[in-house]
Chain A
């Protein structure tokens, strides 16, 4: 009887199996293949003689240009995340605490509305605003405030503006759920004990919302460093990021091995930053590690 019970397939395992297989097939296998390609001299499927090599990584380390590109990518990701957090947190707090159901619905619609339009369309909209002949420059020039157009596009600032607009909803939606679950009576208790509303927020609400800050920041950071369309259109190819360089290596240089090595470096950097961010926030929030 007991033998029958132990050999019986676990229902939950069978239920999870299809999604686990899909995950392995579309996540681990591509990353594994990418790691393999980054360490080979060519594609073993179509080339007869392929050997292991470290030349792709050596090229990256040997040329400071690639390190500059990596740093530019990380910098744009970090600034985008910070700005999205600064804009998103007050909005998320307002949405979580608003009493009116209509008000909440309107705010939610305002946050979600931009997501109904494609990233390309939204980026083109920013181009019409920020270009030399765009709305901003033309307005300022017609008012006589500037004589020459301001350089709003083809800069890192332009890219960050576009990315923040695209990714703020991800931050807001993540934070709203977390802030909404924080018991308001805790803040009231702090205020009853003499804390100012600002101190109550800083010492009660903010630490309790750290898991939301962590989740939202990681989401926005991951999306920002892997963004392709917005940096290419608003950066005008004058700001080189890793995704642009990877695409360039595949589409124009046909160097899949080097592109794979760049991809692996992007992945490793992201993982390292995620771990470091996780630990730092854990320390700040007084926990050993955020799970």
Chain B
């Protein structure tokens, strides 16, 4: 016994220890080396939590693969910087305006093949309309969010946002960087001009909207509304409904002129080496049971017509053809072609 121990030289001991250490560290990666990896993007917050805890693992288990999610926004500059033949993502999940920009740059495929994604047959027309690149798996309604404890009365129209009584408590977005802000600019053209593309009317309306508190993302607007920093603001329904049951003095208003759609869009990158898996993922995300679980967690309106939500969610979300018909989609292709010009103008309008 002593002899055996004595034969263990220092060099052998170090070699064995190093091998054991490397083996321990590498073991999980070696074990998973055979599993294909699908690289996707996705939001954080509640969306990220449920994707990580339930939806993602179920997909991995069924399709014997690994999901690698990037939730560090912005995604498009990273995709833009990666090689076309070996893109950083296989599936891009982001809002419609960015998807259009990605499609224009050839970074994503403009359409999803219905033969490879059978659930595409069950989506509402808006989800694959000519205003959409890829497929919209969910949508939110962009309307007005208001405090109910300030005695503002009944708000029914977008135009009430211009009412002088909201000076100092009016909320909007940094238009160059926010989808809601950009959609709202197009709505201003409709409200005060000849239509979405009437930019001059929109700029004049935005000038008259000051003073306004502007933020870059909806989470910040939610906090400002909850704290009372703003009393009436542009917001999507999910940003109000997600506080359901917390007794917050806030409510969502669907203006009589219609609500704008904020689509959650999936596209596949042309250079993806995981095309089959990418299509399977898109199809999976459109499954009624997956749609229902996500919709009831994050308060997004499902794109699949066959989804039956519980009564509480069904009452508020866009779950019937009649409700969906209220959605106004923005022509993002048109918008993106003029984005530089629009940004320069609105940056001037909202500077202090």
Contact = CB atoms under 8 A, between A and B. Distances in A.
A103 interface: no
A44 B324 CA distance: 44
Given A46-B81, A46-B84, A131-B229, A239 B352 contact: yes
Interface residues of B, number: 30
A188 interface: no
Contacts of B84: 46
A186 B112 CA distance: 80
Nearest to B210: A238
A28 B127 CA distance: 47
Nearest to A128: B227
A237 B228 contact: no
Interface stretch (A9-17, A104-112, A248-256): A248-256
Contact of A253 (B214, B228, B339): B339
Contacts of A232: 216
A239 B351 contact: yes
A45 interface: yes
Nearest to A127: B229
A123 to B, nearest CB: 13
Interface string B153-172: 00000000000000010000
B215 A252 contact: no
Given A46-B84, A252-B176, A253-B340, A156 B229 contact: no
Nearest to B77: A250
Nearest to B85: A46
Given A133-B227, A133-B229, A252 B351 contact: no
Interface stretch (B2-10, B35-43, B342-350): B342-350
Contacts of B229: 131-133
A43 B77 CA distance: 12
Nearest to B228: A133
Contacts of B174: 237
B83 interface: yes
Interface string A252-267: 1111100000000000
Contact of B350 (A238, A254, A255): A238
Nearest to A248: B176
A256 B347 contact: no
A169 interface: no
A250 B215 CA distance: 18
Given A251-B77, A254-B101, A65 B216 contact: no
B352 A254 contact: no
Given A132-B229, A238-B214, A252-B74, A65 B347 contact: yes
Contacts of B214: 236-238
B80 interface: yes
Interface in B4-42: none
Interface residues of A, number: 28
Nearest to A46: B84
A240 B168 contact: no
A149 B211 CA distance: 13
Contacts of B347: 65, 240
A253 B352 CA distance: 22
Contact of B351 (A132, A238, A254): A238
A121 to B, nearest CB: 15
Tell which of A43, A235, A252 has the most Cβ of chain B within 10 Å: A252
A270 interface: no
A255 B174 CA distance: 18
A253 B343 contact: yes
Contact of B176 (A132, A149, A253): A253
Interface string A61-74: 00101000000000
A49 to B, nearest CB: 13
Nearest to A251: B74
A170 interface: no
A285 interface: no
A278 interface: no
B177 interface: yes
B215 A236 contact: yes
A167 B179 CA distance: 34
Interface in B315-352: 339-340, 343-344, 347-348, 350-352
Nearest to B84: A46
Interface string B77-116: 1001111100000000000000001000100000000000
Contacts of A205: none
Contacts of A256: 77, 80-81
Given A238-B350, A248-B343, A251-B77, 4 more contacts: A46-B80, A237-B215, A256-B77, A256-B81
Those 7 A-B pairs whose CB atoms lie nearest each other, nearest first: A238-B352, A251-B74, A252-B177, A237-B174, A250-B77, A237-B214, A252-B176
10 contacts: A43-B80, A46-B83, A63-B344, A149-B168, A235-B352, A237-B215, A237-B216, A237-B350, A253-B339, A254-B101
